Amino acid sequence: MSARPGSWPWLLRNELRLSWRGVSGGHLWFIAFFGGLLWLFMHWGAWVVLPSMLPVLLGMLKAPFFGGAVFWLFATLAVSQTTIHAVNAFIVRGDLDLLLSSPLEQRDIFLVRGLAIALSVLPLPAFLLLPLAHVGALRGFPGFLAVYPALAAAALGCAAAGILLTMTLVRLLGARRARTAGQIMAAAIGAVFFLAFQLPNMLPPERRARMFDWFKTAVTDGGPLGPASPLWWPLRALYGEPGPLLALALAGTLGFWLVVNLAYRRFVTGTQETLTGGGTAAPAGPAAFRSGLTRVLLVKEWKLILRDMQVISQALLQLLYLLPMVFAGFSRGPRNPVIVPVLVAAAAMLAGNLAWITVNAEDAPELMATAPVPLARVLWIKAAAAVLPVLAVLLPLAAWWVTRSPAKAATLLFCGAGGMLSAALVQVWNPRQGKRHDLRYRHRTGGPASFIELFSTVSWIGAAVLLDSKPVMLPAALAGVALALAVARRTGRAAREDSWGSAMKAA
Amino acid sequence: MTTGKEISSPALRINGLAKSFGAKKAVDGLDLLVPAGEFHALLGPNGAGKTTTLRMVAGLLRADAGSVHIYGHDAASAAPDAKKVTAFLPDDPLLYGKLTPLEYLEFVSGLWGVPADAAEKRARELLEWLELWNDRGEYTEGFSRGMRQKLALAGAMIHEPRLMILDEPLTGLDARAARSVKDMLSDYVKRGNTVLLTTHILEIAERLAERISIILGGRIVAQGTLDELRSRAGAAAGAGGGTLEDVFLQLTEPA
């Protein structure tokens, strides 16, 4: 039976078709068939293992901290996903003009978008939990079927939270910046959880012991994280406990309903206004024009990087995952064997990212190619624009270490600067035109240069480790660097000869 | 500074220029001479080789064969000298979305080595004249197509080039902006400079160009003033000629 054109089920079907095509990449039946087979297989697996798992599963209700924490981890990741979906659905996709100019009810449009966002986070938990619920019901635990309403309510709640976050960002920042901020926030939510789990490793031993003591008290009966805490109600709802299930269903549905019914007008108006509004005011322009190629090129590259939140986030988020080790290194002082190699890796990665942006992601290659300046000089200045900011961070750190551990400071400077320069050199010798917002995919699309850069960075990390432990082996690591740079220079010859010519043909 | 070589040389001399993309010959032994101080229009149907020719002249594409001399400078062996006196405006110019018009013009001035004080004065003049002065503090990412085109034109003019190569320069401009660009180009040529442009708007070529070249299959098939082209087309057709559109359609008619 097909839905009436223009009705909300019809619109929902269209939404799901669009999102499914985006995910499946045209392999709908292949994915559905093998996914279905795997799902059936999981039912068989659940049938076999459930009897032995039951004590653990039921025990979680008595000590729900672990299960509850896993639920909230998934919920947080789901909110990050719904935020991305909401940003895409309301800002990026750009079909609101078409929909809002149609005779459809605006509320229906918003309702359908919201439902599609909620449905987008359901497949994975449903895939994992439903076999267990079905088998549990067959083995005498019908309460396990509460997974259905509980998951649906949780998905609605996550969708409402994601939409609310997006709405807030649009209101605070405008649609253009909200898009970037939403993507950054979504990525950061995942990273924050990663960092939270690494927290004990980052803390000094005495603080870690204090944290564990507090935790032991908190999870006992009557503690803030004890079994009766409302924090664990969603977990209890999954087991079919009536009160928590009702609360979760009410919270999820009501939250979603409120977002759809109370906020859609404001959202649509706000979004439309910000999307069609005037340009973005920039910071005050140059007080006076500067002269000289080096100066204007450096300033231009730095301005373009600093003003692009998306590029900054992509360049820096990759480094976020290195933070725990850096914290650990600082908390235990520069003598920690991990700290220098980690900083070398971070410096090389950041310089590589920035060099990719300045050298490869030139927005106006035609302008650069028609200017009466040698291309090689332009590339070197662009590489300097990538290396100098990282060096500006590394130098004070090395200076601070000189008094504490001169050898470490020297290693940091030598290997850090080497790693940065090598990463930048690989980009200079292998120019390959790209778009700055594709930075995150540069390793996939960069060809041999990506592998060479990685090899050189690993060699510099190795050099840092060997300088600390077995200096006699240092030549081996430096040979790796030399090999990487030699290959970069050789493979990059064709790209250099064609300079930006081929890129411009594509542009 | 203008050299003696530049004074005595034509603005543009192209000999036997050729470029292929795979098996397709985009430009096939093209010859063209544009004297200094001339407004020259290069017309041709889609895929005739206009843009490829302009991109080779501007140094954006490497020719398979032939040579290009700009005011006496070989565009291949003396590229910086040739580029110093040239400006190229592509049909869809790429700007920096996160720079303001003033910052963009400051950057372009730096590329062409224009002294800062002169560049600043000229940037103001150009932005005022192109009615972009009030938008000087906005990022260009929010600009309309016409505003972007005007800013790119300002960038092309900031170093006061002697030869301007323009690929469809009026695309996206409103009537008022198109009129001011046409006036500006006329004035620019009157001051002794040279313009080579491609356009699909034949009225522009008819009104502004002193000489017109018609390109077909990567070769120049006709060249001359409008009257010369008219009489040539008229003689071929056995009639007295007509508008440039009639001439163009007749000369580019598929065999």
Nearest to B123 by CA among B95, B161, B158, B148: B158
Q: In what order do the strands lie in the sheet with B219-224?
A: B86-89, B163-167, B194-198, B39-43, B211-216, B219-224
Record the tokens describing residue B90, joined without a space.
């592509």
* Chain B nearest-CA residue for A361: B96
* A285 vs B contacts (CB less than 8 Å): 100, 102-103, 136-137
Using a 10 angstrom Cβ sphere, with 0-12 exposed, 13-18 middle and 19 or more buried, the burial of residue B2 is exposed
B102: nearest CA partner in chain A: A285
Mean of the per-residue pLDDT values of chain A: 81
Identify all chain A residues contacting B98, using CB atoms and an 8 Å cutoff.
Answer: 282, 303-304, 307-308
B62, A375 contact by CB (below 8 A): no
Q: Which residues contact B206 (CB under 8 A, 6 or more apart)?
A: B226, B243, B244
For residue A296, the chain B residues in CB contact (below 8 A) are 106-107, 109-111
Measured in angstroms, the CA of A418 and the nearest CA of chain B are apart by: 30
Q: Among residues A137, A153, A154, which one has the least CA distance to residue A145?
A: A137
Instruction: Write the single-letter amino acid at A149.
Output: P
Chain B residues close to A373, C-beta within 8 Å? 80, 111
Backbone angles phi, psi at B222, to 5 degrees: -160, 150
- Model pLDDT for residues A180-222, shown as the tens digit of each residue: 777 677 667 766 766 777 677 667 778 878 888 888 888 888 7
A410: β partners? none
Domains in chain B, please, with CATH? 1-85+163-174+195-255 (3.40.50.300)
Closest CB to A288: pick one of B94, B116, B143: B116
From B78, which residue of chain A is nearest by alpha-carbon distance? A372
- Helix, strand, coil share (%) of chain B residues, nearest 5: 40, 25, 35
**pLDDT, tens only, A370-422:** 899 888 889 999 999 999 998 998 888 888 888 888 888 899 899 999 999 99
pLDDT digit string (tens) for A435-446?
887 777 777 666
CB contact under 8 A, B109 and A501: no
Identify the pLDDT of residue B13: 96
pTM exceeds 0.95, yes or no: no
The radius of gyration computed from the CA coordinates of chain B, to the nearest angstrom, equals 19
Closest residue in B to A304 (Cα) is: B98
CA distance A388 to A184: 25
- Choose from B24, B103, B124, B136 for mutation: most chain A CBs within 10 A: B103
Identify which has the larger pLDDT, A171 or A302. A302
Q: Which residue has the tokens 């708007």?
A: B201
Q: Which residue has the tokens 């992601």?
A: A361
Contact B55 A282 (CB under 8 A): no
Ranking A6-20, A245-259, A457-471 by mean pLDDT, the lowest is A6-20
| Residue A507, pLDDT score | 28
* Residues of chain B contacting residue A501, judged by C-beta atoms under 8 Å apart: 60-62
CA dihedral of residues A378, A379, A383, A386 (deg, nearest 10): 70
Distance CA A181, CA A188 (A): 10
Total residue length of chain B? 255
Beta-carbon separation of A370 and B60 below 8 A: yes
Query: In Å, how far is B147's CA from the nearest CA of chain A?
Result: 12
pLDDT for the residue A272 = 53
Are A302 and A382 in contact, with CB atoms under 8 Å apart? no
